Amino acid sequence: MWLSEEYLGSQTNDVSSRKTSVKKTNKKKTKKIKSSKAVASKKKLKRGKSTQKAVAQKTKSKRKNNVHKIHVILDSGHGGRDPGASAGSRKNKDIIYEDEVVYDISKRMSKLFKKQGIIVHPTLADPNQKQPIRYLSHRHDRDEHLLVTPRYLTRNARIGVNMRVYLVNHIFKQLRKKKVPSENILFISLHGDALHSSLSGAMVYYPDHRLRRGRFILSSKIYRKRKEYISKLTYNPRDNKYSEKLSKSFGKVIINQFRKLRLRTHRVSSAVRGYLYRKGIKTLPAVLRYSKVPTSVLVEIANLNNRLDRRDLLKSKTRQQIAKAITNSVTAHFDRSSGLVAQR
Ligand SMILES: [Zn+2]
């Protein structure tokens, strides 16, 4: 349904259906309260009033959590045999691998999101590293896999990116089926830059609508055998423009949050971009170009080639601050765009 024109064509329908679903939830709530009160009053005889209060409160918080939550599809770039960028040297003890540093930050973000009641859908997992780590391993491990079914051990960078396109769009589709409003779903892809060593700090990419493509169709068996495979993904200009607007605004919030925490970013004018140049041609990272999630950004957390950035990234404190900046951006984004308010 998320692909069809009926849905994509009318935002108003989307809003009204959201309202009805909220009403429905409200009805359910009243029922729930009634029954929980009944249960509570029976228990009252045995345990007294305080229990009743506790039960009611528990029901209340449960209810609150059921109204459209915020969902973040969190993509940690590269992994497996594809380390992404790497810089520094063993001799200087500042060697750093992009996939390892962004994975650690993604783990930190997941923890912070959980505390805020935001639901995280990761795209990548390392079975041997479920928690953030204090010291980034100088050794590059290769056991990260993409959470498609069956799992894909990232052997090839290009396939890994295409696989992510299917995975991200699949998660989005599933959430839409559960009537989660599309504005409540965010896609964040984490990467590290490998620019000229004189440049430093974070920047954010959003999908400029002019760089989108009409369709995404791959027919190789490696994709077809995955549960997440979608035979034909199509994109229309109206959605692309809407997505650009939402994503750009979210990107600005992210850069602001970085600055707030005194983390380095590119200059104001160049820290939020709709495209990048590759061999002199404007282009977009594939995960942004083919994402169906209206709010989609790719965050370059820092420039690995810059000595100061590298030194900072090796400190767990900086990685924690970066994680904080990005997670705070999500709540700040929803506070700002109160028209699209989501309840946490
Ligand atoms: Zn990367």
Flag whether pLDDT at 12 surpasses 50.
no
Give the single-character DSSP code of 123.
S
Question: How remote is the CA of residue 90 from the centroid of ligand 1, in Å?
Answer: 21
Least confident of 8-12, 216-220, 271-275, 334-338: 8-12
| Whether the Cβ atoms of residue 202 and residue 301 lie closer than 8 Å to each other | yes
In sequence order, the 6+-apart residues with CB closer than 8 A to the CB of 28 are none
Q: How remote is the CA of residue 176 from the centroid of ligand 1, in Å?
A: 28
Q: How far is the CA of 79 from the centre of ligand 1 (A)?
A: 10
What is the rounded CA–CA span in Å between residue 271 and residue 29?
A: 44
Determine contact, residues 284/205, Cβ cutoff 8 Å: yes
Closest alpha carbon to 132 in 316, 274, 261, 299:
316
Tens digits of residue pLDDT in 270-311: 899 999 999 999 999 999 999 999 999 999 999 999 999 999
CA 77 – ligand 1 centroid, Å: 6
Distance 143 CA to ligand 1 centre (A): 17
pLDDT exceeds cutoff 70 at 230? yes
Q: From the CA of 308, how far away is ligand 1's center (Å)?
A: 19
- 225 CA to centre of ligand 1 in angstroms: 26
**Ligand 1 midpoint to CA 36 (Å):** 50
Spacing, Cα 102 to ligand 1 middle (Å): 9
Please compute the mean of the pLDDT values over residues 315-321 and round it to a whole number.
97
Identify the DSSP state of 262. Answer: T
Q: How far is the CA of 244 from the centre of ligand 1 (A)?
A: 21
pLDDT digits (tens, 9 = 90+) for 251-273: 999 999 999 999 999 987 889 99
Tell me the CA–centroid distance for residue 189 and ligand 1, in Å. 9
Which residue type occupies 232?
K
157 C-alpha to ligand 1 centroid (Å): 10
pTM for this structure? 0.80
More confident residue, 63 or 8: 63
* Residues linked to residue 2 through DSSP beta bridges, in sequence order: none
Q: How far is the CA of 165 from the centre of ligand 1 (A)?
A: 15
pLDDT in tens, 142-183: 889 999 999 999 889 999 999 999 999 999 999 999 999 999
How confident is the prediction for the chain on average, in pLDDT? Answer: 84
Cβ atoms of 287 and 75 within 8 Å: the answer is yes
Q: Provide the β-strand partners of residue 76.
A: 190
Give pLDDT, residue 335.
85
pLDDT digits (tens, 9 = 90+) for 78-126: 999 999 999 999 888 899 999 999 999 999 999 999 999 999 999 999 9
Q: Residue 81 contacts by C-beta under 8 Å, 6 or more apart in sequence?
A: 142, 153, 154, 155, 156
Distance 126 CA to ligand 1 centre (A): 17
Express as a percent the part of the chain with pLDDT over 70.
Answer: 77
The set of residues, in sequence order, having a beta carbon less than 8 Å from that of 136 and lying 6+ positions away, is 96, 97, 100, 101, 104, 313, 314
